[in-house]
Amino acid sequence: MDQDAIIYAGPGTFKLVKKPIPTIKNGNDILIKILAASICGTDVHILANPPEYPATCGVTIGHELVGEVAEIGPEVKGFKPGDHLIMDNNLACGVCECCHTGDYNVCPNMKSLGMEIDGAFAQYCVCPETNVVKINKDVPIDRAIFAEPLNCVMGGFKKLKIMPGDKVLILGGGPIGMYYTRMFKKSGAGTVMVSEVSEFRTEYVKKSGADFVVNPVIDNLEEKVREQMPCGADIVVDCVGTLIGDALKCVRSGGTVLLFGLNSNAKQTICQCDITRKGVDVLGTFIGHNTLQAVANGLNSGLFDFEYLITHKLPLKEFGKGLEAMRSGKAFEVVLYPWDDIR
């Protein structure tokens, strides 16, 4: 039988095609019926021209999903048909030095559903049991759809030693910045300030719990930070990928800078002495790292609820409309329903 799927068809190009429903090939495989999938910023970068992230021509793109177990391989132990699940789409090799030392999230042989392997913009996909976690069936689909980006955010959050009352600066008020904002507030942060240039995003940043939002185009960011945090921020998170210089100016001596954003084309000039003399911890973070179960726990409990960020709900065949909304900057979360059962 065939299914509808959105494939990468070359630089800047996608197609809605019919592809065979995937089958279980390995003992620990799970055939997932995709209840909903969402368009990530990574998908936008994949479909840029030239592409900012590589994908294999003909592969089904997409990697953020909520699914239901349709069929299990003979070695699957923790799932049965009908269970609901969330997924980490990144498949580490398991045999390299990084994997053996526990740092599987930076495996040099990593392959990803939605880039090299058929992914989520379809009605079914296959994923190994090792990369999925069960969630309660009563968790709303529109809450659970945020699982994959939350898993990446949680990977960075896990590295931080946040204390109640900490002062936090977040550089970039896009969806990732909003996830961090709410997670910091839920974890006891005292003051959370967000730097964001878009008026459209500012309203949602405030809804996410930010105490202050600064537009660095209009105001001097460092001055605004010092007004609220005289010694600087205890923690600064760069969600953009180009702002380490601003982060070092605004962090307090002995504070922590977390670098989340990715931009391989951007180059910054920094003074290493600013790090050494101030005794600043600079941490890099990439995707989730043994954090997917924690995300499931937060979704099950209602702690992670970002439904207010869903700006578009579309059938799978209207992927192009959702993509353009993401490209225009007028969308946060675009949810696609492959069975046309828009909730």
Q: Give me the active site residues, please.
A: 42, 45
Task: Give the span between the Cα atoms of 236 and 263, in whole angstroms.
Answer: 18
| 288 closest CA partner among 178, 158, 135, 161 | 158
Task: Give the span between the Cα atoms of 25 and 320, in whole angstroms.
Answer: 31
Task: Give the span between the Cα atoms of 340 and 343, in whole angstroms.
Answer: 9
Rg (CA), the chain: 20
Peptide bond into 164 cis (omega under 30): no
Contact 105, 63 (CB under 8 A): no
Contact 133, 292 (CB under 8 A): yes
Task: Give the span between the Cα atoms of 333 and 250, in whole angstroms.
Answer: 30
312-to-57, 63, 198, 328, 342 alpha-carbon distances in Å: 27, 17, 19, 13, 10
| 52 closest CA partner among 88, 8, 109 | 8
